[in-house]
């Protein structure tokens, strides 16, 4: 193998190494992002109310309705 071929292969090798390192850096960056996103998605999933009793739901609805009615009444009185 000639010295020129060796230089060419060495250059090719360096270029491939540079590409691999660039790809690895990008993968590492994507991995970090993916880890952060996975944590976020998991915390969102886990924060959702899984189940509630109908009694609690009706109580919440009644409380909300009462607030709405009282608010309307206050606005009517102010007019």
Q: Nearer to other proteins by C-beta: 10 or 38?
A: 38
Structure tokens that stand for 51 in this block:
């189940």
Dihedral-angle region of residue 65 (phi above 0 means left; psi in -120 to 50 means alpha; beta otherwise): alpha
Minimum separation from the CB atom of position 53 to other proteins (A) = 7
Minimum separation from the CB atom of position 60 to other proteins (A) = 11
Question: Is 75 strand, coil or helix?
Answer: helix
Q: Nearer to other proteins by C-beta: 7 or 33?
A: 33
Minimum separation from the CB atom of position 73 to other proteins (A) = 29
Question: Is 22 strand, coil or helix?
Answer: helix
């Amino acid at each position: 193998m000639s010295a020129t071929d060796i230089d060419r292969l060495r250059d090719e090798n360096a270029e491939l190494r540079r590409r691999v390192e660039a790809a690895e850096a990008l993968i590492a960056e994507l991995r970090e992002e993916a880890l952060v996103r996975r944590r976020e998605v998991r915390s969102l999933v886990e924060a959702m109310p899984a189940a509630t009793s109908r009694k609690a739901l009706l109580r919440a609805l009644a409380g909300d309705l009462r607030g709405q009615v009282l608010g309307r009444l206050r606005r009517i009185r102010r007019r």
